[in-house]
Amino acid sequence: MGQPHFIIFANEKGGTGKSTTAVHTAVALAASGYKVAALDLDERQRTMTRYLENRSATIKREGVTLPQASYAVLEGRTVEEFEAAVDQLASNANVIIIDTPGRDDDIAKAAILKADTLVTPMNDSFVDLDLIGQVDPDTYKITRPSFYAELIWNSRQRRAQATGKSVDWVVLRNRLQHIDSHNLRRVGAALDELARRVGYRVIPGLSERVVYRELFPKGLTLLDLEHMSDVQIGHVTARQELREMISGLDVPPLNSSATLVA
């Protein structure tokens, strides 16, 4: 099928909504006609895999047709086994989504090197911002990029040298609060300042909503409102957030007339 587009979700901090965002991205792209394969590198927690397994079970149990990605868990622990798993998925996919574990290891680094789109979800706080940049405690200005930002920078340089391709690094502001605050503005200003130095884009992600936790047992996403009972205005608002997030990822279309569905 040609070279697939790799979307890598990576963040060494837990609790940023990484797997939930990866699942929603996979399903949204599948709904748009892409053949999507999802590879879960966290062989212990398997959050993305469990979500997609629940979705497959719902499709079978309720006899409904839902857009779905193929999925696999990396059982191996070597880079060679990772490469073999990717090759197998690439034979029948034009988008591969990889959910990396919240740790720094050789397989996660190998995944980052494959990224066409590298997505780093983060909560809107200085605790999460510390992953990519250190902040002056008085001025809230960025003092220097963090180790993780330097890791990504080096990986992008290596990929450019090896393949001639650039990497679109996207920092996803998940769990944004619905009210304005000094913290919100300060984090936003620091992110924008650091973006100019290390070259990522900032886009809004998914807000903190109970609905995301409710969707997991059936493997449903915000694309599946017609299969849910008691749909409320919050569900519709959250679906619009999803639409904006998918659009912001700027995944190359299958053809010139393709339109992303969310």
Give the global pTM.
0.90
Which of 106-120, 206-220, 246-260 has the weakest average pLDDT?
246-260
d(CA 199, CA 192): 10
Confirm whether 257 is domain-assigned: no
Per the structure, the complete domain to which residue 82 belongs is given by: 5-249
Range 54-83 average pLDDT: 95
pLDDT greater than 90 at residue 14: no
pLDDT greater than 80 at residue 81: yes
pLDDT of residue 114: 93
Confirm whether 258 is domain-assigned: no
Higher pLDDT, 71 or 212: 71
Confirm whether 259 is domain-assigned: no
Count of Cβ atoms closer than 10 Å to residue 169 Cβ? 24
What DSSP element (H or E) covers 127?
Answer: helix 126-129
Q: What is the CATH number of the domain that holds 224?
A: 3.40.50.300
Range 189-199 average pLDDT: 89
Q: Which two tokens stand for residue 44?
A: 């212990």
d(CA 47, CA 127): 23
State the virtual CA torsion across 61, 62, 65, 66 in degrees, nearest 10: -80
CB 203 within 8 A of CB 251: no
pLDDT of residue 262: 47
Confirm whether 131 is domain-assigned: yes
Confirm whether 262 is domain-assigned: no
Give the E-state strand segments of 136-238 in sequence order.
Answer: 142-145, 168-174, 201-204
pLDDT of residue 210: 79
Confirm whether 261 is domain-assigned: no
Confirm whether 26 is domain-assigned: yes
Overall number of domains in the chain: 1
Cα–Cα distances in angstroms (integers) from residue 116 to residues 23, 75, 164, 165, 232, in the given order: 18, 24, 12, 8, 36
pLDDT of residue 165: 83
pLDDT greater than 90 at residue 205: no
The rounded mean pLDDT for the chain is 88
Q: Which two tokens stand for residue 123?
A: 């909560």
Which range scores top for mean pLDDT: 71-75, 99-103, 136-140, 181-185? Answer: 71-75
pLDDT greater than 70 at residue 177: no
Range 42-62 average pLDDT: 95
pLDDT greater than 80 at residue 179: no
pLDDT of residue 76: 85
CB 201 within 8 A of CB 169: yes
Confirm whether 260 is domain-assigned: no
d(CA 122, CA 176): 10
pLDDT greater than 80 at residue 183: no
